[in-house]
Amino acid sequence: MMFSFVTTANANVSDSLKLASPGKVVADADNAGLKLPNGFGALKVAEGVGSARHLTVTSQGDIYIKLGRVNKGVGNLRLIDSDGDGKADKTIGFGNYGGTGIAIKNGYLYASSDEEVFRYKLNEKNEVINPESPEKIITGLISRREHESKSIVLDNNGYIYVNIGAFSNSCQEVDRAKGSMGRMPCPVLDSAGGIWRFKADKLNQTYGDGKRYATGLRNVVGLDWNQQLNQLFVMQHGRDQLHDIFPDLYDVNANAELPAETMYALKDGSNAGWPYVYYDPAQKKKILAPEYGGDGKKEGGKDAIDPVMAFPAHLAPDGLLFYTGNMFPERYKNGAFIAFHGSWNRAPLPQEGYYVAFVPFENGKPTGKWEIFANGFSGQEVVTSTRGAAHRPCGLAQGPDGSLYVSDDSKGTIYRIIYNGK
Amino acid sequence: MQRKLLFSILPFTAMNILFAQKSVPPTNKQKSIENGKTIYLQRCLACHQADGGGVPHLNAPLDGATAVVADDKGKLIRIVLKGMSERVEIDGEYYGNNMASHADLKDQQIADVLTYIRNSWTNKASAVSVAEVKAIRAKIK
C-alpha cells in the first residue's frame, strides 16, 4: 500500500517537497478496480481512512474529508500529497465529531455533525489555522436516528443550506408498520424533511434563526450549488418499503422499481411533496402515497414541484457535483455527476447502484439521459446483499486540475478519476 | 434431493433419542426452521437481507449477532413483539432505521422465525418455543 498514516502539521516540508520533485499523476494499472469510459483512468489516493462521507479539494490539491464516525480520535481529515504523484502521503486529523457535510467557501472550511455545523478559518494555503477551536455556526438540529446526516452547501450570497432529513420513512402513525396510515398534516415537516437556510457567518444559529427554504424532501444527502443558474440542486432519497407496508397494492417487483430517486432544482419555498406523494418513473407522475389513500394510480401533489430527472428506485444518491473543470471532454462540462451509494430495498431482487452516474447539462437543463460513468465499486457482478459490496460511493469533489474525486464510506478508499485521452 | 433431506433429518432423530429430556424435540426444531423461513421471506428479508447481513448503519445484521444467538431469548422476542426505535449500540455499531412491531404474528410464527434466524447462516443456537414467546407477550401486555 502506498498510503502511510502520518500525523504531522509541518506544512513547510510538504511545500519544499512539492517544489523539489513535481510528480506526475498516473492511473493505477487496474484503474483502481473501476470501469470507466474510454480515455479515463483512476487511482486510489488513499485507503482505509475511515467512513469517508463528503469531501472537498483545495486549490492546492489537499483533500478535506468528513468521516461518518470518529476514527483514531478524529472526525475530519486533511490528506496531503507532498510529492505530487497523486497518492496521499500525509494525513492531518482534527475535530472529535462524526458527520457528513464538508465544504470550503470564502476562506472557511465548513463541517457538520448530525446536530451542528462548524467552521474553521483557513490560511492562504487553505490550511486550518485553529483545528481545535472552530466557530459553531448552527446548533440544535434534529437527529433522531433515521436520516440523521446533515449535508451542507453554500451559495454566493453568504448563506449555507443544510439538509435536515425526515426522522421517518413515510410519516406513518407507526414508522414502517404494515398498513399504518399517514399523519395529516405530517408533523415531521415542521423541523425536518427539508432544506434549511442559515447565515454562513453568524454564530449559534438554530431553527428560529434559519429559514425552511424547501420542504417535502424526505432525505437529501447529495446536493450542490449550480453556478450557471445560481441555484440549489438536490438529490432526494425516495421512500422505502411500499411492498412491506402495503403488500396488497405493491408486489416485490413494484417495490423494487418504485419510487424514483429524484433530482430537484429548488427555489425559495419549493415543496417536493413528501410524504404525501412519490414519483413514479414509469408513469412519469406524482402518485398519492398509499398512506394517504393512494392506490398506485391516483395522482397527487398539485402544489409540489416535478423532478428535473428521475433515477431508478432505492439507489441512494449520496453525492452530487456539477462539473466545472477543464480536464474532462467538453460534453462533461457543467454536467452532473451523482454518487449512488447502492440499494438495499430491492430485495429479493438483486441490489443496484454502487456507481457514479453522469447527466449531460446545457444551460442548467439536462440534454440527455443519465448514464453510468464509473462502475465496479462493489467488486461484484451482482450484489445480492448490501454488505457484500466492497466499496460504496458517497461523496464527490473536483480537484483544481479538473480531476473527479470519489469517497467510499465503507472501506475508506479515496478515488481520483482523471482523463488522459486525446 | 430426497436422499439429502433424509441425511439432514437423521442426525436430529438420533439426537432426539439421546436427549429426550430437551423441551423442544429436534425434529420439531427442523420443522420450525422450515416454517420460520417462510415468515422470514415475508416479514424480514427486505431489511435484514437474504444472508441475514442487514444493511450497514441502517438495519442491524442477524447473522453473527450476539443478541440473536444469546441464551437469553427474551430480548429477541421482545424486539419482534415491540419493534425497535431506540438508538442503541449493537455489537459496536449503530443502526438508523426503525423496526415496526410484528405482534400480529402468532406465538408459533414468532417461535418459528426466531428459531430460523438462530439457526441460519453462521448462527447455531437453541430453538425458541411457543411457551417462551407466550411468556414474554404476557409480560408486555
CA A362, chain centre distance (Å): 22
What residues of B are in the A interface, CB distance below 8 Å?
41, 43, 45-47, 49-51, 53-59, 61, 83, 85, 87, 94-101, 104
> Is residue A2 situated within a structural domain?
no
Angle, to 10 degrees, between the axis of helix B107-117 and the axis of helix B130-140? 120
Give the per-residue pLDDT at A44. Answer: 98
Query: How many CB pairs lie under 8 A apart between chains A and B?
Result: 71
Give the per-residue pLDDT at A422. Answer: 64
Closest to A388 measured CA to CA, from A373, A404, A377, A402: A377
Q: What is the CATH classification number for the domain harbouring A263?
A: 2.120.10.30
> Is residue A6 situated within a structural domain?
no
Please state, in angstroms and rounded to a whole number, the distance separating the CA atoms of residues A64 and B93: 25
Distance from CA of B106 to the nearest CA of A (A): 16
Q: What is the CATH classification number for the domain harbouring B32?
A: 1.10.760.10
CA A197, chain centre distance (Å): 18
A162 pLDDT band, cuts 50/70/90, is: very high
> Is residue A151 situated within a structural domain?
yes
What is the ipTM metric for this complex? 0.86
Q: Are A316 and A353 in contact, with CB atoms under 8 Å apart?
A: yes
B5 pLDDT band, cuts 50/70/90, is: very low
Cell of B141: 401486555
Instruction: Name the residue of chain B whose CA is nearest to A391's CA.
Output: B56
- State whether B55 and A175 contact (CB < 8 Å): no
> Is residue A3 situated within a structural domain?
no
B27 pLDDT band, cuts 50/70/90, is: confident
| Cβ count near B87 (within 10 Å) | 11
Give the per-residue pLDDT at A94. Answer: 98
Q: Are B42 and B141 in contact, with CB atoms under 8 Å apart?
A: no
Domain count, chain A: 1
| Contacts with B93 (C-beta within 8 Å, 6 or more apart), sequence order | B56, B57, B60
Kindly report the three-state secondary structure assignment for every residue of A247-265.
Answer: CCCCCHHHHHHCCCEEEEE
> What average pLDDT does the structure give for chain A?
94
Please state, in angstroms and rounded to a whole number, the distance separating the CA atoms of residues A109 and A131: 10
Q: Is B139 helix (H, G, I), strand (E, B) or coil?
A: helix
Distance from CA of B69 to the nearest CA of A (A): 20
| Contacts with A258 (C-beta within 8 Å, 6 or more apart), sequence order | A242, A250, A278, A280, A281, A313
Q: What is the pTM of this model?
A: 0.90
A52 pLDDT band, cuts 50/70/90, is: very high
Give the per-residue pLDDT at A17. Answer: 41
A321 pLDDT band, cuts 50/70/90, is: very high
Closest to A290 measured CA to CA, from A261, A254, A249: A249
Pairing of strands A270-271, A211-215: parallel
Residue A288 has pLDDT above 90, yes or no: yes
> Could you tell me the residue range of the domain that residue B79 belongs to?
2-140
Please state, in angstroms and rounded to a whole number, the distance separating the CA atoms of residues B127 and B115: 5
| Dihedral pair phi/psi, residue A17, rounded to 5° | -65, -40
Domain count, chain B: 1
Pairing of strands A404-408, A211-215: unpaired
> Could you tell me the residue range of the domain that residue A391 belongs to?
11-419
